Amino acid sequence: MPLNLLKKYNQLLELTSFGERDRTASLLGIFNRDIATNNYFKFENKEIKPTPLDGEIKMSTLFSHLTTEIVDKETRKREFDIHRSSRLHWVKYHIDKSKKDNMLIFSVDEPEGIRTYIYDKDEKYVVVLEPLKHLDEYYLLTAYHIRGKDAQRDKFIKKYKRKLSKVY
């Protein structure tokens, strides 16, 4: 379990040999180090907050968005996602803009509002932020590895073509 704390981009976390309790403990160790207790968790010098839920900001909600995926759209039921979870330590790496090549950083006006994307073209990995202009901060909505149909049709290249003139 402690070995996962030593993993770097673009290595994957070792999670398949753990039971649910140990797996969650390992992921929480990384989440707490990189996000929850990181005093300098910022993008473009703006503070990043966890995802809001019913007006309340909960770290547990953000942890869920970064390690699970929706399996039932009607009930919004979420289940563990190995692809998101094994890349949890990539979130901070991309927020810090540590990777310079083959990266797209842009904002798009979506039906839900403006979204800022940090897209790693090589690894097909995206971090999604919601800029809050009046507060000069971001919400971290989610981050995930793009697979399946979305990866084949390069959904984020299409979004990039609709980018706003500046990153919000």
- Whether residue 168 lies inside any domain: the answer is no
Domain that holds residue 99: 2-161
Note whether 143 and 127 are within 8 A (CB): yes
pLDDT of residue 52: 59
pLDDT of residue 55: 52
pLDDT of residue 63: 93
pLDDT of residue 136: 87
- Whether residue 167 lies inside any domain: the answer is no
If one counts the domains in the chain, the total is: 1
User: What are the mean pLDDT values of the chain's consecutive 10-residue runs (168 residues total)?
Assistant: 87 95 96 91 89 63 92 92 97 96 96 95 95 86 88 82 94
Query: What is the reported pTM?
Result: 0.90
